[in-house]
Every structure is written in structure tokens, then in C-alpha cells.
A and B are shown apart, each in its own frame.
Chain A
């Protein structure tokens, strides 16, 4: 069974003691859990439809054409209208809708024309609508989810590449180290933003949206892993010259064993502290790219796109920018609080006399 060593347990205990960071962590974790079941909360598909004595759960299933529920059309049933209709007919049938009955793509205009509508509880547009009458809460929610997933994936990729290359550089040293250092120096001088713009202007159009998101992720990772290698390299150098590593080598441990059992666990504690800040960086980057129009392809919901709409409609629709900005501030603050707490609890100076 996997067991944390006492050092780590101590650090985790300390993390729990730092209330601000700990509660931020809980809140963010809660948000992530919530987001993974988002379709049940914010969706235009009903949670449950009871029609002619039979129960339907359309949320995660294949689409139901209107004809399934006695409507005349063959495209996807409009559950909001269906609910209204069942109510009016007054028979046994009923529909249970999610709290926010809109998906992030549909244009739902209570007033008949597509324009930003202010927040309204009666329309269930709790944060209002954007310039084409799409529900802002819905777009924010899914936009945030995509940003979080994106930044987690980004962090994972950057760490895998950064750690393995940095560690190898530090451990093997010599020519290998020298060559890679020079390569990294050159590579890290390529302007990242321009590269994203250039790459995106040449991507063939027949790529699907997930493919385009994956390409964006790849490009961002390609230009972001370098900084991680610096920390990892020095850390490995330091650990390599410690007695316990020398001892392991004398016993005859293989390189793999030394790296994975001795050096990595000891070096990781410092790297962990960078994680939340990498996430902050990734969220800001994807938002900035979206804002500039080089990020996620439309109509993908995104914070940056909402911010852009908001700044273009500051006077007439302040609710767009305030919701997007508010979400971004809350999200980044939470992650930063977590980051600070992690750093504080993982600070080696607290427990050792090493300087």
C-alpha cells in the first residue's frame, strides 16, 4: 500500500493549518467536482422527462428527436418548451430541468432580438446574456471548466517534459547538459505569442475543435517547458552530490533506481510549490489568447472571449465584463492562495538548518 513518509505528512498537516490556502483548496476542489457534473446543473437538456408513463434521462444519452415526446419535429426536443407544453396540457407528463436551463451555445432571446440582456431571475439568466443572447452563467461555467482542464493538462505536460529533461541534464551532466542548456537558451528566445499566432494561421481548416485545442495545448507546452528544467537541473545537481546518492551508487543501484527512488522524491518538494503558479499562468495565457482571438476556436465558451465582449460593451452591458472579470479574479485568487500555502508548508527552511 502507498504510504506517505512522515515528512510529507507533516507538510500536509501544515498545509491544513494554513486556513486561507486550505479553504481555497477545498473550494476549488469543490468547484472541480461540480464542474465534472456540470451537465446536470447547467444544460438545455432535461434531467428527467416523464412521458406517457416512461422515464427518460436525456442528459448523457443520445439526442431525443421531438417526435419521441409527441412533438412534430425530428430535431432535438426543446425541453424548455416541452415543459411549458406539458404544464399547459395538464396531464401526467412532466419535465425536470436543471437549475440553469441553457447550454452555452444556444441563442435564447426573451426579447426577440439578439442583444445583451441584463441578469434576470424570471428568465433564469442569472448573470444575463451576452451579445448574441447566450446565457453568460452557462458560458462562464463551461469556459472555466475548459480553462481548468486545459491548465491541468498543460501543467502535467510541462512537468513531465521539464522534469525529465531537467533531471537528465543534472544527473548526467557534461556534454549532455551543455548541449541541452544551449538548445534551451535558443528555444526559449523564440517569441511564444507570435508562434501561437503563426501556427494557428496555418492549421488546416478541416481540423475539428478538439484537435485545434490539442494543437494549442501542444504549442503552449512546447514553449513553456524550458523554465522548469532550470530548477530541476540545479536541484538534481545538488541531490546528486549528497552522501545518500553516493551511498546508493556504491551499493550498485542503477541510474533508474537512483533517479526515481532517491533524487526525484527529494527534488519534487520544491517543484510542487510551482504548480499552482503554473496553473495561474496557463489560465491567464489561455484567457489572453482568447481575448486576442487566437485561442480556443469559436463558439467554444471561454473567459477571454467574454472579457472581449465585455470590454466592447462596457457602457451598454456592464454585466458581461463584471461576471467574466469576477470569475477570473476569484479563480486566480483561489489558485494563488493555494500556491502560497503550499509554498509555505513545503518550505524546507522551516525544518532544516540548510541555507
Chain B
């Protein structure tokens, strides 16, 4: 479910220094109690105790007038030339701390391999057309009136251990995610409040209802993934330990065998030859490699060296220094055609890179100062000089949502005069001996600018140097990823440089980041004025501690609305209000992804798809083993091929 992602901040290149990679847990065997617990009865009781949520009906109860659809008219994904087979060599920064997909430590960089990018949902958004194509479903129907989506599962759908996937697994999913055993409050909340009912009609047919009808209400249900009830029979108080290293049966094409887990070093995925969706229209040309060997390499420079040696097959070249300097077009391996370089321009919601100002802090509560900071932040210089003009300026905090993104609003661009004027309005009109503005009380205009991204710290120093010209001092603080995230979650930051990863959705979310419920316990009095006794609340994503009565109202209307036009109007109004409030300085976005890959990693003609996040996300590439042999021997003999540096800009703005 893509929703999970919204809770993670992008932790680009976090090195977990304290993690001891070499310590082997005492035993890999599942904790063997004398008796294996069985929760079947407990689950039945739970269903019975919530009859309004878990219902059982017969096929005759399905409304006959439904408009069933299955998206099969959408184009196939992947290339007909794709060959199955071969081993893909890749890398991960840290060894996964668990094989669980939920609960403590599960939300790491490894999970996409076993869940987010590989396992099947009821339906998936087509990466070009944005509409849904079937995953586990045979067909589905949306009933706006009753806010319900009906689903018929594919009768062949089965888990990797051969057990069929049925409606029971979906009912179980709700029990599982609502249960306290999984130690994941966010899931408890989401599955407890965002759905109102699941009804089983037969083994293959069920329906799920949601509280509000939305223009994209199908997304909320179709992007659900069932949980294998037969495997989670032992879920109880000790879930976290009991399932720590057990690989769950999956709907994904890749499985992990026990012998392929080398703790701390290497983990290998194996393609399930009997995967039920092998020949399905949207799945047949994807997930081509037989095995994927993921080894742990912590340092990015080392990963690059491994790539250059051919030990790993692909390397992300998003950073300018890699694209232009470390692997330039005249690099020996590129010039000889052994390594190909590709740029693919995509279109999708953009992660919100920018400066998040904590408006509950002294000085930052003053709008004039925030406006001044916006003007004193030279993102264009960062884009031009650090990213070499490849990236683009982010204009609002919700860029990339197509028609839901404000069409005309522009972020404030760097201007020393405007910044000075704005600071002067807030009383900072004099420069001190070091050129930083001071007010009449002698207070300096200085803020801590923190970030959890060690590898982007240079951006902060550039911003600092530029801001000083406008008399503003940034005290740069670079933390490690976890500490940085903890700091903003506790709302202890002044200004934080960060971004929320966003998923492919129809329209942006506002509640998480801009609703006062996520800033203060009781933000406003009855009449809409500020409650003087309100207290900050922590552990939410409202990093600006933004609380505007008007905004709250609009968010409520936005969330309750089922009209696309009304929602668009509200989204624009909220974006404008947010811009006016000036508590966010929009940074940059990367309108493409770039990959370097050895010649034997083959991609489809169009390389990737309009809404793809990265080259590997859709698994449309394949490993050509003959070509690998040919390339390696050619490299030995000094033979070369046509160099390939390709630019796929068919989806560029």
C-alpha cells in the first residue's frame, strides 16, 4: 500500500553507524514453544464482536446493477523481447533488521523488495495511463452511493506456497492490521478508521466500504494487499519476535529461501517458477531475473567501485557528481559501450524538498520574517551550481499532481532587497558587526538550519553563504538520519531541510501536514480564535506547526468532498493560503531519474513509464546472460561496442 510511504521521510544514504553488521542472532529457528499457538478462534470472536465491520452475505446480495470493470483494455507493461533468467546483482546499504513487513524496524529500505514493489495488490495503477489494471482481482465495481467497492478475485490467485488467496485473507488483513500485536499504531489507526466494512460473499468475492466517497475512492481499496491467514495463525503477543526472520508466503514473484539469508552480508531473492501470474497480461514481461542477489555495501563510493568492476549491474546516477564526473560520457567503460547511461523524464508527485519552518518558535512565528527567509533562500543557485541546472525549482508543496497542482503559483525567488524589506518590517533593520541583522534589542537574526542528510549538507552551506548576504544567519546542523527525523518529530527544530516521500496519487494530502490537529492539542477556541493554553503535539508530520482556522475548515471540506472540481478549487485555495503563510520554502525537484547499467541489463524500447519512480521499480528490465558473456570477453579482448547514452524525454514537461 502506497499509503505507508507517507510516514517515512526520505532517508537518503543514512549510514547506521552503530549497527553491528557482524553479530549473528543466537538462533534462526522460529521460537519453538511446546505448543504452537492458534488464533483462529480469537479471530472468529473478533469478527463476531464487530458485526457492523465484518459481514457475511451471499452472492445474491450483490446489487445486480453494478458496473464491473477490469482494466484489461490498458496496454501491456514491459517488453515482448524480455528474456527470463539470469541473476541480477544489486546492493543495499544495511542488512534488513527483520523479514516482517509490519512492526518495529520493518519499514526499511529492504521492504520494497518483498512488499512495496513486488507483491500484488487487488489492482495497480497503470504506470502510463494512471488507471487501474488487475492484480489479484479478476474484476471490480465501484458503488459510489454506498461508498463500497466490490471485488472478484482471480480464481487462480495463490500464495507462493500454493494456498489459494481468498476473501478470508482480506478479512484477516483487517484483523491483523487492527490488532495490537503488530506494534504498529499507524496501521491500527489507518485500518481502524479509514474503512468501515468488509463483506464476504464467497471465497472469491467480497466488498469493502470506506467512510467518504472520493473521486479516487477505488484507490483506497484496490491498493490493499491481503495477508496469508494460514501463515499468521500464530500471531499473538510475541508476534514481533516470532516472525522476525520468517519469510511470509507472498503474492509476489520473488521468494526468499532460508539458505539464501546470510545475515549481515547477503540476501538473495529467487523467482517463483510457479508464480500464478506468470502469464497474465500485465505481469508476463516483468520480474525477469531468476535470482536477485542483494549484498550489503554501506558506502556509496564503494558501491560505485563495485559497479565499475561489474560486481553489481546497475547504479543510480541521479547525483550530478556521478553523472558528470565519476561516470562521464568519455569514461573508458562508457565509451567502449560496456556501460550504458540513461536519463528518463517522469511525471509524478514530487517529494517535498524544502525548508520547513517551525512556526511555534520565537521569531519564526512572525510572518514577515518567514517571508524574508523565503526571499533569502537561494534555491536557484543550488539548482544551477550544485545540481548543474538538471533539477527544477519546486513551486508549491504539492507539485506533480497534474490538474491538482496549482497552475500559476510560483515560489518566491531569491531577492536580497525583498528579504531586507521584509526583515525590516519585523524590526530587523540594522546590520551587526558581522553583517547579520539585529533588532533594537540587539537580538540577532539567526536560526538553526538542521538536516538529517549528511550527503546533502553542501546544500545547507550554500544556502548559509547566500542568506548571509541578506543579513540572515543559518546555523547549520547536520545530524544522522534517525536523529534528524526524531528532532522534527519532537518539533524541536527551527528550520529543517527535509522532504516527504509521496506516492503516486490523484491529489495531494493536506491533513497530515497542515491541519491544526497535528500541531496543537486544542488549537482554537469555539469562535476560531487562538487558544492561549494550547500545547504542541509531537510525532506528527505537521513540521511547520501550521494552524490556521481557515485551513482546517478547507481541509475538512476537501476530505469530505466527492466532487473533483470542488476538490481542485479547495486544493488551489489551500496551496495559496500556504504560500501566503510562507512557512515552507519550496526547494527543488528532480524531473527525471538516471541510471548507469552494464550492457547486459536490458530495458524496453521506451525504457520506463510515465509515472515510474525509478528504473528498477517496475521490474521491466531483464538480464541477458549471453550478452553478459559477450561483454565480459569483449572487455578482456579490448573489443568495444557502440556507446549508449540515452535521453528519454517523451514524458518531459
Contacts and interface: CB of A to CB of B under 8 A. Distances in A.
A95 B191 CA distance: 70
Contacts of B416: 73-75
B480 A201 contact: yes
Contact of A75 (B384, B469, B476, B479): B469
Given A74-B420, A112-B385, A297 B470 contact: no
B75 to A, nearest CB: 40
Given A205-B492, A312-B300, A105 B325 contact: no
A115 B321 contact: yes
Nearest to B459: A132
Given A107-B385, A298-B476, A205 B493 contact: yes
B39 to A, nearest CB: 40
B239 to A, nearest CB: 30
Contacts of A206: 448, 494
Nearest to A66: B469
A292 interface: yes
22 contacts: A62-B433, A63-B431, A73-B416, A74-B416, A75-B416, A76-B435, A105-B465, A113-B384, A113-B385, A113-B388, A115-B321, A115-B325, A197-B18, A205-B448, A205-B477, A205-B492, A209-B475, A292-B17, A298-B457, A312-B299, A313-B326, A317-B325
B388 A132 contact: no
Contacts of A65: 431, 435
A266 interface: no
Interface string A105-148: 11101001111100000000000000111000000000000000
Contacts of B468: 75-76
B185 interface: no
B321 A131 contact: yes
A315 interface: yes
A326 interface: no
Nearest to B325: A316
Nearest to B492: A205
Given A74-B420, A115-B325, A293 B471 contact: no
Interface in B6-25: 17-18
A116 B494 CA distance: 32
Nearest to A209: B475
A116 B325 CA distance: 9
A293 B460 CA distance: 16
A14 B232 CA distance: 80
B2 to A, nearest CB: 32
Interface in B296-338: 299-301, 320-321, 324-326
A106 B493 contact: no
B386 interface: yes
Given A113-B384, A115-B325, A293-B480, A75 B470 contact: yes
A311 interface: yes
A132 B478 contact: no
A265 interface: no
Nearest to B322: A316
Contact of B461 (A63, A105, A311, A314): A105
Contacts of B385: 107, 109, 112-114, 133
Nearest to A314: B301
A208 interface: yes
Contact of B465 (A106, A115, A312): A106
A33 to B, nearest CB: 26
A201 B18 CA distance: 12
A114 B319 CA distance: 12
Contacts of B450: 205
Contact of A107 (B462, B469, B478, B483): B462
B487 interface: yes
B464 A299 contact: yes
8 smallest A-B Cβ distances: which pairs?
Answer: A75-B469, A62-B433, A63-B435, A132-B458, A299-B461, A312-B301, A316-B325, A114-B385
Interface residues of B, number: 46
Question: How big is the A interface, by class?
Answer: 35 or more
A298 B448 CA distance: 12
Contacts of B493: 205
B454 interface: yes
B476 A297 contact: yes
B462 A132 contact: yes
B386 A201 contact: no
Interface in A230-251: none
A292 B15 CA distance: 10
B434 interface: yes
A299 B477 contact: no
A115 B320 CA distance: 9
Nearest to B324: A115
Interface in B214-230: none
B649 to A, nearest CB: 21
A197 B15 CA distance: 14
A202 to B, nearest CB: 9
A115 B322 CA distance: 11
B488 to A, nearest CB: 11
Contacts of B300: 312
Interface in A66-81: 73-76
A293 to B, nearest CB: 6
A194 B384 CA distance: 39
A105 B300 CA distance: 25
Interface in B431-486: 431, 433-435, 448, 450, 454, 457-458, 460-462, 464-465, 468-471, 475-480, 483
Interface in A59-106: 62-63, 65, 73-76, 105-106
Interface centre among B300, B433, B457, B477 (most CB of A within 10 A): B477
B496 to A, nearest CB: 10
B477 A297 contact: yes
Contacts of A205: 448, 450, 477, 487, 492-494
A65 to B, nearest CB: 7
A101 B468 CA distance: 19
Nearest to A208: B475
A138 to B, nearest CB: 14
Contacts of B386: 113-114, 132
Contacts of B460: 298
A63 B480 contact: no
A299 B476 contact: yes
A215 B432 CA distance: 27
Given A113-B385, A298-B461, A73 B469 contact: yes
Interface string B95-112: 000000000000000000
B601 to A, nearest CB: 22
Contacts of A132: 386, 458, 461-462
Contacts of A314: 301
